[in-house]
Chains A and B, each alone.
Chain A
Amino acid sequence: MSTIVRPVWAGKPKPVVLALKAVAIVLILAVVLFPFLIVFSTSVSSQADVTAAGGYVVWPRSFDLSAYVQILSGGVVTRAVVVTLLVTIVGTAISLASTVLAAWALSRQGSLFQRPLLTFVLITFLFAPGMIPLYLMVKQLGLLDNYWALILPSAFSVFNMVVVRGFMMSIPQELIDSAKIDGAGEFRILWQMVLPLSRAVIAVVGLFYAVGYWNAFFNALLYLSDSTKWTLQLVLRTYVLQGSSLVSGAGSDATMQPPAESIQMAVVMIAIIPILAAYPLVQRHLTKGVLTGAVKG
């Protein structure tokens, strides 16, 4: 009688192995969470705690929100948050629309100018525009000091389009053909069949776009000279550079200001919270979406 030999990964793990796995997971988790703990703890620490800890606090002895109050008072940061949210929402919507439409058109063999258009788009992978030509282009379009300058130059990512196109190409042609036989037009096929099937990849690409817009710093630096229109990252950078609010004006009591390290860490918290909040919403699509096309030639 022959013995059935199961591969190692198919067998029931031993308790020791399970324990080792648990320890490994906890360690990895600790390594990931420890920086967040330091960031949070330092952001809510007083000057005395920061000084005693030599800079960064692991576990706060007090709970002091003055760094957050300092940053959020005066309206500069809150205005930047609103601006950045709007740019992120509108920009992501435009980017997704353009990417999905382009990906769908370029994934259909035989559509009008499919080959030359695809080549034209892909060639931008090789020749990216330089900073100054792009600035001149934005200027000539009259977009300087305009929020559209933060959206339009980066509205379409060829990389993201290629990812979405790869996913759409994996949709069986028979499905499309049957829909056509039933009388569905191209737009209806895209809207009612392709998009629901592509939810995973669209969620991931949407996250990529949203993170990109949320973190937009360089475009804002180049195209927005009016500081009242600055995005969050640009404003927060000024705090990080110098613990800037501590450079007090005449007559203000700088000794009452929160420590520079707390302000810097509060800045980090404000910058990452929205992305941390959005991430779980698309997490279930992430693995599937990111691996799209990974096993295809």
Chain B
Amino acid sequence: MTDTTTAGLSRRTLLSGAAFGLVAFSAAGGLAGCSSGGTAATISDTVAALPTYVPITKGPKPDLPGNDVVQPVYYSYPQDSELFTSVTGKVADGSKTSGFVVTYTAPPPADNSFLDYIGGLTNTEYDLTFVPGDSFDTKFATMTAGNDIPDIVEFLTFAMPPRFPQLLDAKFSDLSEYLSGDAVKDYPNLANIPTASWRSARINGKIYGVPEHRPPFGSVMVCRPDLIEQLTGAAPAPKDKDEFTELCRAVTDTKAGRYAIAGGGGSSGVDWSYDFIGATFGVPNQWKQSSGGTLTHKNETGAWLEMLSYIKKLWNLGIYHPDTPSLESAKAKTYINNGTVLMHLDGISALLDVTMPKGIVTGGIVPFGADGGKGANYQGTSSFSFAALKKTTPARIRSQLRLLDYLSAPFGSREAFTLTHGKKNVHHTGSGPDAVLTKTGEQMINASSLYRLAAGPQVLNTAVRIDEQLRQSHAWQVATQDMLVKNPVDGFYSPSATSTQSANQAFNSVCNDYVLGRTNLAAVKAGVKTWTAAAGDKMRKEYSEAMEKQG
């Protein structure tokens, strides 16, 4: 990490550092109230074209096919002979690479032979700073204030700091000329990342990073098809809201402590499986854009009120687990595992939970229209995060992009195998489908979090064979791929959107009160007006301006 600060601690150093650090500070919400009142982002007039998608078609044939939406399935790892080389020539320029990554694992041991090994292959030495998932903003704010920004920083696409465009503009490299359009073809593995994933890395019209790909499905109503079939005599396949209500009633037995649905409570409020039930009722994916270009937020639609009334009905029928208002997601998973609850909204990776007790296979409810029409499924951001490069020279940028290209090697390539299995007889033994991590490999590879800097597009493959779950997950993706509903503001930036927490919480609270019978629909309507005045109008204005300028 380069230290570019002055030797002494002058008042100016202190104040300027503190000021810039505060700009980046958001987690504690200490400045949330101020950020919206500060300088608004200057919206760029030019918009860089997203990188051209050039899928890599060579490599092992999947067991079940995929496309740019559906993930291909590989029941096991391919044989060595099927692997292909995705990167040739020198990778990095030989200098050290510092990185800042969010981690959800314990840190690696002190002598990390895996990072050393990969460093040797990619011609660099890694110096990674890890930060626990919920402490990113605090740590990043101080590092920014101290001018200690590492070469590559991972930004979570679902938790961008306030005044993000200004921060990127001041401290990070605009990668548009290197990645926009056909320019990305210089980095074949990066060109293999589906277009949708790049949208979150294009901020204020400029491409600022390399995305970590995720499939575009926002969430899935995870269910226990085995238990549902046992209780109802049929696989769960409701076609409208009445059938869904009937299904929920049939599987709920409050005396036996069994409930159809578990919502979830958290710091941001209660989630009554809003995304699944909302899509059913035609509630937009966050925002809806009329043909005239006017934006309407989901809270402001009549469909939201309809959905809320339906949820209230389900709650009154005793279909929701009574702990829903305060239920942690981890506990909901346990309830799914032990059959206390039969449906729970979760991320699609929940369908591949390899820690689930043996013999249990979960599936996903295919969305449906409340009135029996076509179902809808909210499209996610198609990325978890993106890796931005600190401002540096063009030569260094190219070197770092070559490095990210290597780290983005697709499944089925030799590089991807190396990145997930390390060195033979040190980090793994065996080969192909029989490759097994050694103790050293288990301790170092995942904990090194190198995949947080960049990784190839995700496929459906697990270390432990869970063929039926892979099949279920793939079948659900195939069934819902045509139901995806895009958020029209996805890829556009609103400074106010990062400071709506209190308004959202207040609105969520009113909705909960209505569902729980503590207030009436008129209060919810009043809550909509309050939310619109406090947050909705500002966001609408900012998004509309950005969309108008950037198309």
User: B251 within 8 Å of A by Cβ?
Assistant: no
Q: Which of B106, B139, B141, B145 contacts A239 (CB 8 A)?
A: B106
* Cβ–Cβ < 8 Å partners of A130 in chain B: 18
Q: Is the CB of A132 within 8 A of B135?
A: no
Give chain A interface residues in 243-297, CB to chain B under 8 Å.
243-255, 257, 259-261
Number of A-B contacts (CB under 8 A): 168
| Proximity bits, B432-457, A CB within 8 Å = 1, else 0 | 00011100011101110000000000
Q: Is the CB of A135 within 8 A of B142?
A: yes
Closest to B135 in A: A221
Q: Is the CB of A250 within 8 A of B420?
A: yes
Task: Of the listed stretches B37-45, B58-66, B327-335, B386-394, name the one at the interface; the rest are far from the partner chain.
Answer: B327-335
User: A114 within 8 Å of B by Cβ?
Assistant: no
* Cβ–Cβ < 8 Å partners of A133 in chain B: 14, 18
User: B421 within 8 Å of A by Cβ?
Assistant: yes
User: A51 within 8 Å of B by Cβ?
Assistant: yes
Q: Is the CB of B130 within 8 A of A227?
A: yes
Q: Is the CB of B437 within 8 A of A249?
A: yes
Q: Is the CB of A248 within 8 A of B446?
A: yes
User: B146 within 8 Å of A by Cβ?
Assistant: yes
Minimum CB–CB distance from B453 to chain A (whole Å) comes to 15
Instruction: Given the known inter-chain contacts A222-B139, A253-B464, please indicate yes or no for A52 contacting B14, CB distance below 8 A.
Output: no
Q: Is the CB of B357 within 8 A of A47?
A: yes
Minimum CB–CB distance from B425 to chain A (whole Å) comes to 13
Q: Is the CB of B148 within 8 A of A54?
A: no
Q: Is the CB of B146 within 8 A of A136?
A: yes
Instruction: Given the known inter-chain contacts A132-B22, A244-B104, A254-B464, please indicate yes or no for A259 contacting B133, CB distance below 8 A.
Output: no
* Cβ–Cβ < 8 Å partners of A253 in chain B: 463-464
Q: Is the CB of B145 within 8 A of A250?
A: no
* Cβ–Cβ < 8 Å partners of A35 in chain B: none
Closest to B354 in A: A254
Q: Is the CB of A228 within 8 A of B110?
A: yes
* Cβ–Cβ < 8 Å partners of A255 in chain B: 354-355, 358, 464
| Proximity bits, A216-246, B CB within 8 Å = 1, else 0 | 0000011001111010001101110111111
User: B522 within 8 Å of A by Cβ?
Assistant: no
User: A76 within 8 Å of B by Cβ?
Assistant: yes
Closest to A235 in B: B106
Instruction: Given the known inter-chain contacts A254-B463, A254-B464, please indicate yes or no for A50 contacting B437, CB distance below 8 A.
Output: no
- Distance between Cα atoms of A137 and B435 in the complex (Å): 49
- Distance between Cα atoms of A94 and B340 in the complex (Å): 54
Number of interface residues of A (CB under 8 A): 54
Minimum CB–CB distance from B472 to chain A (whole Å) comes to 17
Q: Is the CB of A238 within 8 A of B103?
A: yes
Q: Is the CB of A140 within 8 A of B8?
A: yes
| Proximity bits, A16-42, B CB within 8 Å = 1, else 0 | 000000000000000000000000000
- Distance between Cα atoms of A234 and B428 in the complex (Å): 29
Q: Which of A50, A235, A241, A245 contacts B133 (CB 8 A)?
A: A241
- Distance between Cα atoms of A47 and B355 in the complex (Å): 9
User: A139 within 8 Å of B by Cβ?
Assistant: yes
Interface size class of B (residues with CB under 8 A): 35 or more
* Cβ–Cβ < 8 Å partners of B133 in chain A: 241-242
Instruction: Given the known inter-chain contacts A234-B132, A238-B103, please indicate yes or no for A252 contacting B9, CB distance below 8 A.
Output: no
User: B17 within 8 Å of A by Cβ?
Assistant: yes
Minimum CB–CB distance from B58 to chain A (whole Å) comes to 21
Instruction: Given the known inter-chain contacts A137-B9, A221-B138, A259-B355, please indicate yes or no for A76 contacting B108, CB distance below 8 A.
Output: yes
Q: Is the CB of B13 within 8 A of A51?
A: no
Q: Is the CB of B17 within 8 A of A250?
A: no
- Distance between Cα atoms of A259 and B353 in the complex (Å): 12
Minimum CB–CB distance from A227 to chain B (whole Å) comes to 3
Minimum CB–CB distance from B231 to chain A (whole Å) comes to 19
User: B107 within 8 Å of A by Cβ?
Assistant: yes
| Proximity bits, B127-163, A CB within 8 Å = 1, else 0 | 0111111110011011101101000000000000000
User: A74 within 8 Å of B by Cβ?
Assistant: yes
Q: Which of B18, B110, B134, B437 contacts A132 (CB 8 A)?
A: B18
Instruction: Given the known inter-chain contacts A76-B108, A241-B104, A249-B442, please indicate yes or no for A52 contacting B338, CB distance below 8 A.
Output: yes
Q: Is the CB of A252 within 8 A of B106?
A: no
User: B79 within 8 Å of A by Cβ?
Assistant: no
- Distance between Cα atoms of A64 and B5 in the complex (Å): 52
* Cβ–Cβ < 8 Å partners of B330 in chain A: 55, 243, 260-261
Minimum CB–CB distance from A84 to chain B (whole Å) comes to 14
| Proximity bits, A124-144, B CB within 8 Å = 1, else 0 | 000000111101110110001
Minimum CB–CB distance from A50 to chain B (whole Å) comes to 7
- Distance between Cα atoms of A51 and B139 in the complex (Å): 36
Closest to B340 in A: A54
- Distance between Cα atoms of A47 and B443 in the complex (Å): 22
Minimum CB–CB distance from A177 to chain B (whole Å) comes to 45
* Cβ–Cβ < 8 Å partners of A249 in chain B: 420, 437, 441-442, 445-446, 463
Instruction: Given the known inter-chain contacts A75-B109, A136-B146, please indicate yes or no for A54 contacting B335, CB distance below 8 A.
Output: yes
Closest to B110 in A: A228
User: A48 within 8 Å of B by Cβ?
Assistant: yes
User: B105 within 8 Å of A by Cβ?
Assistant: yes
Minimum CB–CB distance from B320 to chain A (whole Å) comes to 16
Instruction: Given the known inter-chain contacts A135-B142, A238-B107, A242-B133, please indicate yes or no for A55 contacting B421, CB distance below 8 A.
Output: no
Q: Is the CB of B357 within 8 A of A51?
A: yes
Q: Is the CB of A257 within 8 A of B355?
A: yes
- Rank and list the top 4 A-B pairs by shortest CB-CB distance, nearest first: A227-B107, A249-B446, A250-B420, A140-B9
21 contacts between A and B (CB under 8 A): A47-B355, A47-B357, A50-B334, A75-B109, A130-B18, A131-B138, A132-B141, A132-B142, A133-B18, A136-B9, A137-B9, A139-B5, A225-B129, A227-B130, A238-B104, A244-B103, A245-B106, A247-B446, A249-B442, A251-B420, A251-B435
User: Which residues on A are within 8 Å of B, measured CB to CB?
Assistant: 47-48, 50-52, 54-55, 73-77, 79, 130-133, 135-137, 139-140, 144, 221-222, 225-228, 230, 234-235, 237-239, 241-255, 257, 259-261
Apart from A52-B338, A132-B17, A132-B141: 9 A-B pairs, beta carbons within 8 A: A47-B355, A131-B141, A140-B13, A227-B130, A244-B103, A250-B445, A252-B436, A254-B355, A261-B334
